[in-house]
Chain A
Amino acid sequence: MGYHNPIEWDTLENEKIFEDPEGEVYEDAGDSVADTGSHTSDSPDIARSVFGQQLKVSGTITDTDGQPLPGASIVEKGTSNGTQTDFDGNFTLELTDGNAILIVSYIGFATQEIRVDGQDNISAALEESAAGLDEVVVVGFGTQKKVNLTGAVATMGSENLENRPVTNVSSALQGQMPGVTVLQSSGEPGRDGASIRIRGVGTMNNANPMVLVDGIESSMDDVNPNDIDNISVLKDAASAAIYGTRAANGVILITTKRGKVGKPSFSYRGYTGVQKPTYTPEFLNSYEYAKLRNEGLVNEGATPQFSDSDLEKLRTGSDPVNFADTDWMDLLYRGSGMVQSHDISVSGGTENTKYLVSLGYFNQEGIVKNTNFDRYNLRVNLDTKVSKAFTLGLNTSISQREINRPNGDFFVYPHRTPPNISVKLADGSWNHYFNNNPIALIEEGGKHTTKDTHVLTTLFGVFTIAKGLTLKGVLAADFNFDDQSRHTKQFIWGDGTNSGANSIENELDRSRNITSQAILNYKEDFGAHSIDFLAGASQESFTRDFDGLSRINLPNNELTEINAGSKEGQSTEGFGVESTLRSFFGRANYSFNDKYLFEANLRYDGSSKFAKSDRWGLFPSVSAAWRISQESFLSEASWLNNFKLRASWGKLGNHRIGDYEYIPKIATSVNYSFFDEVADGVAEVVAVNENLTWETNTSYNLGLDLSLLEGKVRFSADYYNRLTEDILTPVPVSQIFGLPAPLVNAGAMRNKGIEFVIGTSKIQGDFTYDLSFNIGFNDNNVEKYAKPDKSNDRIREEGSPWNAYYGYESIGFFQTDEEVLNDPKVVGAPIQKGDLKFKDQNGDGEINADDRVVLGSDIPGTSYGVNLSFRYKNFDLSMFGIGAADVYGLLNDQVEFPFVNGGKAQVRHLDRWTPETPNAAYPITHINQWHNYEASTFNVRDASYFRLKNVQVGYNMPTEVLETLGVSKLRLYLSAENLFTISKFSKDFDPESPDNAWTNYTPVKIFSGGIVINL
């Protein structure tokens, strides 16, 4: 809650006006502050003389971290006598009664009542409010009190990010909010960003949500998790409509921390830890491998590869070079796996100028050698009050991410290279298998380096024109410089052959996004009527320039720059694209008595991606809420803090298609070779649909919020129904047309679902807890798709979930020759006993493509998160679990079956069909066979899981110790990320990344210990 700071305070009006960093002005009814209307008619002087001696009390108000809270309110209960704390959180108050009760309040924190009991020094540490009634959430172009929200907005505060060794922001979102489905399929340092889907997959095209950092569209990967104050996810059309054409797949608003009024505060956060793979497949040793391979060859009528004497050498290890037993997985995981993070920040401010400066360093050494990631972050957030009416702010963040990895498929080949191949020959030189040795590649095969420098800077000014009327101007520039370099070294293998020429390949990818906005806001209360109008205009221009260059045959493996390579065989490429967007938008809020709430949004967007006639789109939304708990007939129900019903409807757009798609073009580089030289050619290679237009997403949302017993129990439920139409999809066109058919706005898909959040907490006393559970159910259905496609084990067809697995129903094995002969079998595939038997769904006596059925989707239908945190005095324990259900995963043939395409075999493959083991887990062993590898219920498996995502134990130094140390907070903690997973999917593979099993770097567990020091 650190982003709002009181700038004006009037206890008599019992009303606070705050200004948030974006300059939105909002008001708080201040109902947490003491009642002022019923003080006694006795004058203070008389009261003093009658009831006791006059008393002056002073003290300091802080948050639980010991940070002073400037501007907190201290009111003597039952009177209008009160004051507020200064910049250092100190106050002095003359009491009318020595036995008075002080009411201490601060927005976002639970109000405390403190008995004076004759003390003259009273200090209090306020706890952040769990009740949420005062909670302010960031919405598009502003903030709103949570209780006044009419749409579906989920939020997550910094407390859910702190102390977790999250390597990137996207994976930190996992399990935190219902309806926000996050899949993390890789643990590779720097390349472990997760995919995020909000309320299902909303389109057949790019379904990524829009991400804004402090109001500017940007990237999530470059944000330092420690800089984040809070994250809002705008889930429904009503809350997202203000972002129009890019909001159809949801909007994620990231707000960073800002300085607060008060003395400078310094903070250090650091942790270090180690990583382990979540899952590791277990491979056969070379003797078992050779035996099983021979068995597979014999099963196919071929000659065994290993003779008896070969097998004996493998068994005894007598010839470790030619008949090795290499544990490639063990050799793969030889990296230190160390991870460390250090962050310092300094923040503070006067009434006129507030600042926050933070510096972050994150380093992750992979569990595979020579894979590593460094991230450097610098952030400066400034707010300056130039005059009473004019505030200027500047946000600047600079980040650099550097990722290093071996150049090439270093991860997949240790999973495929057979154990009988030695790593090195007798003389210590590298051995190779099909011109490849993954360990040689990792250790000295060259380097693939990515350097991503990102600068996002925003200048904004807020001018208060009149009471309640402000004008805000924003100018932002987002620069991205992505440099990649691939250096391939040449291997001279031990047998004298070589791996090919060395080379250097560089890519420079630069993009720039310039945004300018002007926003006019009017906000006023008229008695019971509150209005809030916003009107704005914005434009964005995006450019991207790409250049690639490469040379081969550098004089040796140590040189890594282009100049060292040969001009012969060099190559270059380059392109640039540009797109622009101009928008006008507005919002109106009206509320009556905080009881009946209405909101309407309108956005009008023009995009350069469409032809003039189809360029502009209008995206409206309306929403309303009824806070039943504010009704007089419920005024007696003091246990009921909030009971609200919400309803919303809105339309959103998606313009994320390629650039220039409507413009007829003649492509260059349609080249050929004449006279042994490259000749440049051109041709028209694509057909154009000049009438391309927006995808539109129409959705409605019904919601209910409930808060009971001073917020001790919270409950929310939402139902949504999102229909995306005019999705750009292929339509069937005869090949005789002769060009790839242009995409047309012809697809439709619907997502509907329900979401629940339930929570309970106890926030005061020695023992506190906060328990919450969220769950979302989503149902995806393709409503219109003109070009059904059932290839590659997936189905894309009306009436099915988008891109679901599609294949056969496996019903055991062919057990006898009679079954092979007589039972329906796959046409054209040679079948033998022990092969998989598929169900003849249509009963036509043969198994062909018509017998396939939908096998399930890899996008979870259900995802949930559970958060349990406890605190006893200075100790705390928190556990955070996530899970998914109604989700399926397919392990591809090379992972699921032995020996496929030159691969090896895993221990689980020993459990195979033989005449003696007719009920084994796997079919008869083959070297290469197609039938069993078809997608079927055999290899498309239930990938439901529950994962203990994070466990953390912490200790906060007691105040007495802190005082002697001169620090305001010192916390030590131990944390484990991805500690364990329960899933029946596979004991060898992570259920979250089946499709990428062993082509992608494995997800990791992280065990870490950390420290937080605040001065």
Chain B
Amino acid sequence: CSKDFLDVAPKDQLSDATFWKTENDADLALVGAYGTQTTDAFPNFFDWNEKSSSWESSWNINFMDLMTDNGYSQFIWDGVQTSGNGQVNPSDRNMHNFFKYDRITKYNTFLENIDRVEMDAEKRSRYKAEVRFLRAYDYFKKVMWYGDVPLVTASIADPQEANLTRDPKEEVVAFILSELGEIAPDLPVQDAIESGGHATRGAALALKARLELYEKMYPEAMVDAKAVMDMGVYELYQDGPTAYYDMFLSKNEGVNKEVIMAVQHIQNEFPSSVMQHLLSGEDGGWSSINAVQSIVDAYETIDGKTIDDPSSVYDPDKPFENRDPRLSMTVRHAGVEWSGGFFDPFNSESNDFHAVAVGPNSGYGVNKYAEIVPTADLLNGDVNVVVFRLGEMLLTYAEAAIESNQINDDVYDALDRLRVRAGMPVVDRAVYDSQEKLRELVRRERRVELAFEGLRHYDIKRWDIGDQVIPGPLYGSRTGSVDPVSGEVTLDDESTRIILEERVFLPSRNYLLPIPQAEIDANPNMVQNPGY
């Protein structure tokens, strides 16, 4: 009697002892591998969130370019500002998420136990491949952000055994690539609509191509990118003149075959907070995500020339006119058609005013993914945030080919497909006729096509251009006025240009994040990254 009275057990959680038996257990555990107990509204970006984190968070995509020359994070508590201006330090409570091993532990636990379940063998091998993909993806981010990291492929029973040393980046990269190669055949060939959000063979090869490109394994990157391009299930989304903007809207998710894999969101249950951060005050948003002058200047003019080309149609006083249409579809600058009128960050009576807390401090908002929603849905969005899409594969293929000096029609074709979709002329083969010129082109094309999709930091690092593009004052727009009727923008003189912050960048330090101080404190075997 005494025993029974004091023995109680939870009735809303499963017991470790009785789990891993049925196929239903495997289904639940697979979802658990992708999922999280928290909503995604304020996800695992901060390390105080001790709950298990999902395989990827839209924050990690939408905010990442703010630590590069593309953007600016105007709220320090969003966690990116110090990484952008170079002040990030090991005690920063932000940016720790990538170091967390909670996902790795979840994946390892899954892989260790899934064989205990009685289930269909084919389904089991697909489930295993999916989870191994997730593990490879997580290690991909870890090596990108920290360099050498402990490579853990089995769950750790005792906390004291977790004091591991860092394994060389090369070993981790080799592990990721071999995993991806092994699992790809076990994964289905499906677009993101058909897969419903699950990892596919396309996702595995896209990640493999991405990492190979980053590791300068150009022939391999060409092969894998090409395999994805030729898979037959992915197509560029080119429905209408604003296809480039429309492909990120949630209403087109059912028809957009360009997406290879995305973070899935659903209102109420697993919502996205991205609108809250993208929109500015008049629409109830916080303007957390700002574009800056440098990305605005990166877009070509409509005639396919750069703005510093004297023969281009560029007018510094009308900087938003006659530009690559992707500019206005990516950056919400003064005069962009918006909300039935024209966006105006210069009106001091408006909550879009750049100098108010919820106005874009740089004068530039970000339009990719942005659309006006009821204010109640700002933190409760259902838009999926793209992790891999065909566009990136075209650029990966082109860049790998150019770097391999295999310049042929396939290269021009890959770039042209993206340019034409955006409404730009095809590549001027006469101008871009050398490896050097094409390298310049593909890097610019990559920057504008993939702006605010979270990849710019990796590119800066592998091209080793951090000390060229980051340090110094971070500029926003010149101030001015917007005609509410015509939308015409009149800018004040150069002296009114907004300066957001002073950035520093040390190549010896800032290409990697610091290992969190808490980890250094807890683990005597952990060595800090240089410069921190």
Contacts and interface: CB of A to CB of B under 8 A. Distances in A.
A681 B32 contact: yes
A499 interface: yes
Interface in A718-742: 731-742
Given A569-B267, A738-B155, A499 B357 contact: no
B411 interface: no
Interface string A537-561: 0010100000000000000000000
A737 B35 contact: no
A680 B102 contact: no
A499 B196 contact: no
Main secondary structure of the interface of A (DSSP, over half): loop
Interface in A669-708: 669-685, 687
A306 interface: yes
A305 B348 contact: yes
A930 interface: yes
A670 B162 contact: no
A713 to B, nearest CB: 51
A749 to B, nearest CB: 21
Given A684-B106, A736-B156, A677 B266 contact: yes
B199 to A, nearest CB: 11
Nearest to A789: B518
A118 interface: no
B28 A673 contact: no
A918 interface: no
Interface string B202-226: 0000000000000000000000000
Contacts, number: 237
A409 interface: no
Interface stretch (A208-216, A385-393, A571-579, A992-1000): A571-579
Nearest to A733: B159
A303 interface: yes
Interface residues of A, number: 80
Interface string B17-49: 101000001001111111111000000000000
A821 interface: no
B159 A685 contact: no
A302 interface: yes
A497 B375 contact: yes
B164 A734 contact: yes
Interface string A808-852: 000000000000000000011000000000000000000001000
Given A305-B355, A678-B266, A576 B12 contact: yes
A594 to B, nearest CB: 41
A582 interface: yes
A436 to B, nearest CB: 10
A310, A569, A571, A666 interface centre (most CB from chain B within 10 Å) = A666
B266 A303 contact: no
A606 B270 contact: no
B150 A666 contact: no
A670 B268 contact: no
Contact of B357 (A670, A684, A734, A902): A902
Contacts of B34: 672, 674, 681
A776 to B, nearest CB: 35
B481 interface: no
A742 B160 CA distance: 12
B523 to A, nearest CB: 4
B274 to A, nearest CB: 15
Contacts of A676: 196, 253, 264, 266, 382
Contacts of B17: 664
A663 B10 contact: yes
A736 B518 CA distance: 12
A499 B375 contact: yes
B51 to A, nearest CB: 7
A901 interface: yes
Contacts of B51: 685
Contacts of B5: 539, 541, 580, 582, 608
B56 to A, nearest CB: 11
Contacts of A499: 375-376
Given A301-B499, A902-B358, A681 B101 contact: no
Interface string A937-953: 00000000000000000
A807 to B, nearest CB: 15
Contacts of B198: 674
A598 to B, nearest CB: 32
A434 B284 CA distance: 6
Contact of A615 (B6, B30, B268, B356): B6
B35 A501 contact: no
Contacts of B155: 738
Contacts of A580: 5-6, 8
B87 A828 contact: yes
Nearest to B501: A830
B31 A684 contact: no
Contacts of B101: 735-738
B60 to A, nearest CB: 16
A116 interface: no
Contacts of B519: 734-736
A659 B8 contact: yes
A615, A678, A731, A741 interface centre (most CB from chain B within 10 Å) = A678
Contact of A685 (B37, B281, B353): B37
A501 B374 contact: yes
A668 B11 CA distance: 11
B164 A736 contact: yes
Contacts of A670: 31-32, 35-37, 52
Interface string B341-363: 00000001101010111100000
Contacts of A668: 12-14, 28
A665 interface: yes
A494 B292 CA distance: 34
A791 interface: yes
Interface in A652-671: 659-660, 663-671
A672 B357 contact: no
Contact of B376 (A501, A615, A679, A849): A501
Contacts of A731: 159
B6 A582 contact: yes
B522 A500 contact: no
A656 to B, nearest CB: 16
A155 to B, nearest CB: 35
B31 A671 contact: yes
B348 A307 contact: yes
Nearest to B7: A608
A996 B357 CA distance: 23
A928 interface: yes
A677 to B, nearest CB: 7
B348, B375, B516 interface centre (most CB from chain A within 10 Å) = B375
A579 B5 CA distance: 9
Interface in A387-412: none
B70 interface: no
B368 to A, nearest CB: 21
Interface string A295-335: 00100011101110010000000000010000000000000
B33 A683 contact: yes
Contact of B14 (A579, A607, A665, A737): A665
Nearest to B516: A735
A681 B33 contact: yes
A738 B152 contact: yes
A733 B163 CA distance: 8
Given A305-B353, A672-B54, 18 more contacts: A301-B499, A322-B349, A499-B376, A500-B374, A501-B376, A667-B13, A673-B197, A678-B269, A679-B35, A685-B102, A734-B519, A734-B526, A735-B101, A735-B522, A737-B105, A738-B100, A738-B105, A930-B76
Across the A-B interface, the 7 shortest Cβ-Cβ residue pairs: A500-B376, A738-B105, A681-B31, A672-B35, A681-B32, A683-B32, A675-B196
23 contacts: A305-B353, A434-B358, A576-B12, A577-B10, A606-B6, A608-B7, A660-B10, A663-B15, A665-B15, A667-B14, A668-B14, A670-B32, A670-B35, A671-B269, A674-B31, A676-B264, A681-B31, A683-B29, A685-B37, A736-B150, A737-B162, A739-B102, A742-B159
